[in-house]
């Protein structure tokens, strides 16, 4: 048995890195989803229990975490649509690089708008 | 004179040309992996709409995250529209995420036993979260009572 692979199948560039990004953001979102269903379930325990745990989401450090989570969600969403385009659009595979740059521009616009609004609400005036 | 044109890779066409181990449809898994692949794409499109809507309504409108408390949830789930929205989001996101993590386990866990146990844990977590979330959406009570006393913070009809 060889201890090291003789070569690598990973070919770098936009194709591989978008795939790496899609996996990492997917796992992050999945684990948050598990936690988020559990915290929301506290509405069945008592109004006070729910309000207490939601209070934790309102502190400034958590606001940064939420912003990071939304960064992951927006990337995963747009890159997922890119994957669909690659699979179902005749020219998708040919233009996968251009599609990735489109994803990144859209990500910047949508995430930027979210971050400005969410951080000013979460950090300001309360 | 007419000629029947068989679809590619169908039995008659590929009979002798594709080695048996590469032939589709005869495996023990059937078409499961194809449906899983298709499900990821279909659920993905729907989830983009559901989750972007969820984030917009909960975090971008009004006072954003500061507006979220028990009353906010009670207000949303008083409307079957949001109950259905959240139910669809719960089921689709959990199945989409579970299948994604299943793929990752299959890719990186090399030992059969490791793969098996990681997936047992994954599926158990999925069942617990989906069942719990579904029950919470449908058994939600805006006016919870414990030992005959209304809990503070609830929304109860005037006596």
pLDDT digits (tens, 9 = 90+) for A74-109: 999 999 999 999 999 999 888 999 999 999 999 999
Helix ranges (DSSP H) in A2-126: 13-41, 47-57, 60-88, 96-123
| 3-class DSSP assignment, residue B136 | helix
A2 touches chain B (CB under 8 A): no
CB A77 within 8 Å of CB B51: yes
Q: Does B143 touch chain A (CB under 8 A)?
A: no
Residue keyed to tokens 């719960």 = B90
Find the residue in B nearest to A62 (Cα).
B65
Query: Which residues on B lie below 8 Å from A48 (Cβ)?
Result: 151-153
Q: Which of B44, B98, B104 sits opposite A84 (nearest CB)?
A: B44
> Going along B15-148, which residue ranges are E strands?
145-146
Per-residue confidence (pLDDT) for residue B95, from 0 to 100: 98
The first and second tokens of residue B107, run together, are 């890719």
Amino acid B4: pLDDT: 73
Q: What is the ipTM of this complex?
A: 0.90
pTM attached to this predicted model:
0.85
pLDDT in tens, chain B (159 residues): 577 776 665 555 555 566 766 766 555 567 899 999 999 999 999 999 999 999 999 999 988 898 898 989 999 999 999 999 999 999 999 999 999 999 999 999 999 999 999 999 999 999 999 999 999 999 988 888 877 778 877 777 776
Chain A residue closest in CA terms to B68: A54
User: Which residues fall within 8 angstroms of residue A33, CB to CB, at 6 or more apart?
Assistant: B93, B94, B97, B129
Q: Which helix (H) or strand (E) holds B150?
A: strand B149-150
- Residue A113 falls in which region: left (phi positive, over 0), alpha (psi -120 to 50) or beta: alpha
Count of A-B CB contacts under 8 Å: 112
Closest among B156, B64, B72, B1 to A117, alpha carbons compared = B64
Q: Which residues contact B100 (CB under 8 A, 6 or more apart)?
A: A23, A26, A27, A30, B40
């Amino acid at each position: 048995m060889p201890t090291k692979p003789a070569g690598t199948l990973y070919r770098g560039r936009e194709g591989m890195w978008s795939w790496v990004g899609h996996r990492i953001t997917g796992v992050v979102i999945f684990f948050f989803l598990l936690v988020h269903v559990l915290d929301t379930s506290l509405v069945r325990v008592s109004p006070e229990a729910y309000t207490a745990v939601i209070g934790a989401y309102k502190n400034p450090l958590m606001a940064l975490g939420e912003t990071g989570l939304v960064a992951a969600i927006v990337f995963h969403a747009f890159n997922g649509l890119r994957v669909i385009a690659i699979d179902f659009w005749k020219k998708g595979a040919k233009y996968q690089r251009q599609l990735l740059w489109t994803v990144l521009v859209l990500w910047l616009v949508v995430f930027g708008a979210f971050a400005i609004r969410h951080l000013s609400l979460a950090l300001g005036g309360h | 004179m007419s000629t029947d044109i068989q679809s590619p890779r169908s039995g008659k066409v590929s009979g002798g040309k594709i080695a048996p181990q590469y032939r589709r449809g005869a495996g023990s898994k059937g078409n499961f992996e194809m449906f899983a692949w298709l499900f990821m794409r279909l659920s993905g499109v729907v989830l983009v709409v559901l989750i972007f809507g969820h984030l917009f309504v909960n975090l971008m409108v009004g006072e954003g995250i500061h507006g979220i408390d028990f009353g906010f949830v009670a207000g949303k789930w008083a409307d079957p529209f949001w109950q259905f929205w959240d139910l669809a989001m719960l089921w689709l996101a959990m199945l989409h995420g579970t299948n994604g993590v299943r793929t990752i386990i299959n890719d990186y866990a090399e030992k059969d036993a490791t793969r098996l146990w990681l997936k047992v844990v994954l599926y158990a977590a999925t069942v617990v979260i989906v069942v719990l979330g579904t029950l919470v959406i449908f058994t939600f009570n805006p006016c919870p009572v414990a030992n005959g006393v209304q809990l503070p913070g609830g929304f109860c009809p005037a006596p």
